[in-house]
């Protein structure tokens, strides 16, 4: 998604006036919206570029000429995980091993208890750039259209290099990268994604700026409501080992598998 002005002198001038006016209010670019996606893996093999495009979102926030935050994120859906398995031979380096653990080795494992994202962010003010620092100003939330939300349970720093860029091609030279995990359900046991969920939002929030990354879901994407307490045991719900094709129990509930 480009936030630059349209071509043409007169149109560009109008855009500049509008952009400056909106800059006084805060965000010039609204949250990026895509066509609704299905969590279920596609029947055929998609290109890696198409997979990343389908499951990645961006929101850039700035005032006047001051970049506040340029945030991008990829949701590791069952469809994304399946495509990663198909293209994994093209990925190399230490981060490819990290990505495999996060995206593939799921059957009955710890990752079955989480919604997983890769987040890449550039923050204009240097002292605010670290999202994972113990004294960070940022809080990451995952919420649905019904108002159920959960706070990020873990953020793992990822050093941006060529191995990372091969998997997430949108990362910039000055971005900071993170693997982020959210619990499946809130403290009251309400799942973030249910059969009725129409969209979910990854919110990167602070008093300095706020970015919203939004995924709209196609009808029928989710087979059943899900969300478990951490002590539910190995045979409960999404954590049950169903490791056919490497997608695990969460993948089957979200739409993967048979």
Q: What is the pTM of this model?
A: 0.77
pLDDT for residue 97: 81
pLDDT for residue 10: 44
pLDDT for residue 223: 63
Strand 139-144 relative to strand 114-123, pairing = unpaired
- Average pLDDT, 10 consecutive residues per value, the chain (258 residues): 42 44 54 82 87 95 82 92 90 84 60 84 86 87 96 92 94 92 92 91 93 92 57 41 41 44
pLDDT for residue 5: 39
Task: Tell me the CA distances in angstroms from 188 to 227, 228, 230, one per residue in order.
Answer: 10, 11, 13
């Amino acid at each position: 998604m480009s936030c630059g002005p349209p071509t043409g002198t007169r149109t560009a001038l109008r855009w500049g006036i509008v952009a400056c006016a909106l800059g006084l209010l805060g965000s010039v670019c609204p949250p990026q919206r895509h066509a609704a996606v299905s969590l279920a893996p596609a029947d055929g093999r998609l290109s890696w570029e198409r997979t990343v495009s389908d499951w990645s979102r961006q929101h850039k926030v700035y005032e006047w000429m001051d970049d506040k935050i340029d945030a991008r994120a990829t949701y590791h859906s069952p469809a994304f995980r399946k495509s990663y398995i198909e293209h994994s031979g093209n990925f190399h380096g230490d981060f490819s091993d990290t990505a495999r653990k996060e995206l593939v080795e799921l059957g009955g494992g710890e990752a079955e208890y989480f919604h997983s994202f890769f987040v890449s962010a550039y923050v204009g003010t240097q002292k605010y750039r670290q999202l994972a620092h113990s004294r960070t100003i940022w809080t990451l939330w995952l919420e649905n259209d019904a108002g159920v939300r959960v706070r990020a349970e873990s953020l793992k720093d990822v050093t941006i290099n060529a191995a990372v860029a091969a998997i997430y091609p949108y990362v910039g030279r000055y971005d900071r990268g993170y693997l982020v995990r959210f619990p499946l359900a809130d403290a009251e046991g309400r799942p973030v994604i249910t059969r009725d969920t129409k969209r979910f939002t990854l919110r990167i929030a602070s008093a300095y700026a706020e970015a919203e990354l939004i995924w709209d879901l196609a009808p029928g994407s989710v087979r059943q409501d899900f969300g478990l307490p951490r002590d539910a045991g190995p045979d409960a719900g999404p954590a049950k080992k169903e490791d056919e094709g490497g997608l695990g129990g969460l993948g089957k509930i979200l739409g993967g598998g048979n």
